[in-house]
Every structure is written in structure tokens, then in C-alpha cells.
Amino acid sequence: MPTPPRLLAHLSPRSCALVFVLAAAVAAPAAEPDPVALARETVARVSRHQPAQFGPVRDGDYAAVRSVAEVRSARPPTGLGWNYSWGVTLYGVLRASETLGDPALGKWVAAHNQAVARYLAWIEPVEREAGASREWQTFIEARDVPAGGLLRLGNLDNCGAMGAQILENLLRHPQDVTPADRRLVARIAEWIVHRQERLEDGTFWRPAMTDEDKLWPLGTIWADDLYMSCPFLVRYAAFTGKPQHRTDAARQILNMAARLQDADGVWFHGYSVVRREASPFKWGRANGWAMVATVETLSALPEDHPARADLLAVFRRHAAGIARLQGESGCWRQILDRPETWEETSCTAMFAYCFARGAHRGWLPPEYRRAAERAYASIARTKVTPAGAVNGTGEGTGISLKLDYYLNRRRPDDDLHGRGAVLLAGCELIQPK
């Protein structure tokens, strides 16, 4: 509100000057926080929230067992998680450990993974004897079985994201790799490389899955599956010294882009193999999965790799399309090109990570770094709590041909799908420009 002229008339010149200085200070917008400092503080909160929430990892009673009944009666390990969103979270914590110079975070992730490897080594002899039995299948399908996804396998969701962060840690500390670690990696690789269903051109697909309303015939391709495979494959290439796995990752991205990337550069969520048509909606996190997988693969691909130019073209078209859809707040939406849908945290963080990495590596112009900073500032201010919880993230989401399905997805507080992406984006923004 302006200062009334009559009041100013009774003030001395010095007092008038003070009034105007104070008024200007009130009217001036608050200075924007330094993007690097904001990212560092946010990464510290979110990363340290993970061990505090999940607690210590403890081995079970690993006395020799010969039957499922003996496994059931043994004291199980505690603190083990095994799902794809947990895998992204642990990868983010590993990056935070390095970026913040906090070795305790990395040791916590390593302890978790080593405990999983020991658990698998203990239980595998029973699997070899009883794996085909109904009793074993009932055991591994139970909700409370530790690392149940690792025991079940059956799809990329149960393999790649967890496997990628395990390999990330082993590649950083090759002197610490144990036979149990190698067996764990081999189990994951066996599924992804040899057992996961592929089309004739080698593309991963889900022959027994359709859309949520079963309007399509069985047989779909999911953009999500790029993250569930490619980050593992490029690290498995480094771990084994077999570059064909990097080539496989690049091929997956190019083959899926041919089916899912629209003319505007943005990706549809899924594809019906039988009908040869893409689903109608450009879901945010599916685009995030695809873009992060592309960035992770480009980061590992040699400069002279024959697929690199095509992969860069896919990434640049994707980034340009996504950049055009960034909202005024800095965030992106649940359905990217539908402004009536809500702002979503996980995809916003994924795009921020990829934009920042692309700008840092020279794959994208510098303005993409600024777009990433806007996105991350919005997340840090409005979605991350003082305790380090990450809110505003949509729950797990299948392919649908109906908009209401995406609109009505729940947004549980601190959903696991958002944490790792927020850590990856923040760590990348902390890097020098």
C-alpha cells in the first residue's frame, strides 16, 4: 500500500528516505536461491531420510536348510527391499554419497545389497530342489517374503532397476566383489539377456499383458521397460567386458522409439503389438523412464558406436518436445500435453536430471540446464518436506486407453517412485556447469 502524502509531509527528509527504502525492500521479489546450494541441501535431506526411515539391514538365521518348511521356520533377514522404485532410490542414494562426500550413505546401500546376496546364496539350494513345486511358488508369492521379486523374477520390473544399482556399486568397488555378488548379478542377467520375451527384432515386450481395461488383445510394449533393462545392460557390459550388452540397450531404445515416439518428440505410454497402434496418452513418468534410460545409455556408449548418432537424435527430439510442455511453475504434468491434469513430481525430476546431464555433456544447449533448475526449484520448494519426504508422485500406473484412469491415480505421501529421481536430478545439478 502506498504511503499517504499527508504522512510524508510530516516526516523529515531522512525519515522519508527510510520509508522509501523499506517500501522498496517489501515490494522487491525475494532473491532466487542458488540452484547448486538448493540442490545440495535437498539431496542431503532426501538421501539421509532413506536409512532413517528403513532402518538397519540384518541377516537372518542362515543355518543350512533343505526344504521350504525349514526356510519358513528360520528367522528371516530384515531391512531388505526389492522392487524397481526401490532400485532407483538406492541408485540415487549412491549418487548422493559420492556427490555429498558422505561415505556412510554408500556403505548403507552396499550393506543392503550384500545382505541380499547372502540371502540368495542361502536360499538357492532349496530353490534348486523345490523350485517347481507348488509349495515353493506359494512361498515366493507371499507378500512378506524378503526380496520376493528377486525370487520370482518373471518380468523386467523384478530385475533391471535393482540390478543396475547393484552393478553401479560393484563397479565403484571392484575389490569388494564377492562370489555371492557375482551369483546375484548372474541371476538378474540370465533373465534380462536370455529369458525376457522379445519380438523378432529383439525388442522387449509383454506378451501376456494388455491395457488396464482389457480393450487391447494381449501383447504390449511399455516405455517403462527401457529403464527396467537399459541401465542394467550398459553396466553389465562394463562388468563383464562384453560390449554387445551396450548395443542391446541402444537397440531397445531405438526400436521402442520407432513405435512410441510421436512427431512432436514426446512418447506415448505403450503399444499394442497385435493392433500395431500406440496408446493415446503421453504419460509423464513413462516419458521419464524412456528419457533416463536414453541418457544412461548415451553416458556409457563410446563416441564411435554406430548407434550413437541415432540415439542422440531420439534424445534431442524427446528433450525438445518435453521442454515445450514445461509449466509456468517449472513442473510437468501427469499427462504431459493435457493442462487439466495435475503436476507430477517423479517425471519432473526425471526430466530435470536428463536436461542437466544433456547440457553438461554437450548433447543439449545450455538453456536446458536452466529449465532443469526451474523444475528442481519447484520440487524443492513445494514437494520435499523438511524431513526429506518427497510428495506429489503418482502411484504405479499401467497402460490405459482412458484418460480418467491416469487422472484418478493416487499420490501417496513419500511414494517410492519419486525419491530416486529427485536425488538423481539434484546430484546432476550440483555438478559444475
Model confidence pLDDT, tens digit, residues 113-145: 999 999 999 999 999 999 999 999 999 999 999
Grid coordinates in use for 290? Answer: 524412456
pLDDT of residue 56: 84
pLDDT tens by residue, 370-386: 999 999 999 999 999 99
Share of the chain above pLDDT 70, in %: 93
pLDDT of residue 14: 52
pLDDT of residue 7: 41
pLDDT tens by residue, 325-377: 999 999 999 999 999 999 999 999 999 999 999 999 999 999 999 999 999 99
SS3 294: helix
pTM of the model: 0.92
SS3 56: coil
User: Residue 54 above 80 pLDDT?
Assistant: yes
Distance CA 65, CA 9 (A): 92
Q: Edge-to-edge strand order for the sheet containing 270-272?
A: 220-222, 270-272, 277-278
pLDDT of residue 30: 52
Nearest CA-CA partner of 286 in 343, 346, 330, 235 = 346
Distance CA 138, CA 59 (A): 23
User: Residue 22 above 70 pLDDT?
Assistant: no
pLDDT of residue 31: 63
Grid coordinates in use for 49? Answer: 531420510
SS3 423: helix
Q: How many residues does the chain have?
A: 433
pLDDT tens by residue, 197-208: 999 999 999 999
> How many Cα atoms within 13 Å fall on the side-chain side of residue 156?
27
Mean pLDDT in residue range 42-68: 94
The DSSP symbol for 222 reads E
Distance CA 208, CA 193 (A): 19
Q: Are 157 and 84 in contact (CB under 8 A)?
A: yes
Residue 105 burial (10 A CB sphere; 0-12, 13-18, 19+): buried
Cα 274-291-273 angle, rounded to 5 deg: 5
Q: Position 108: which residue type?
A: W
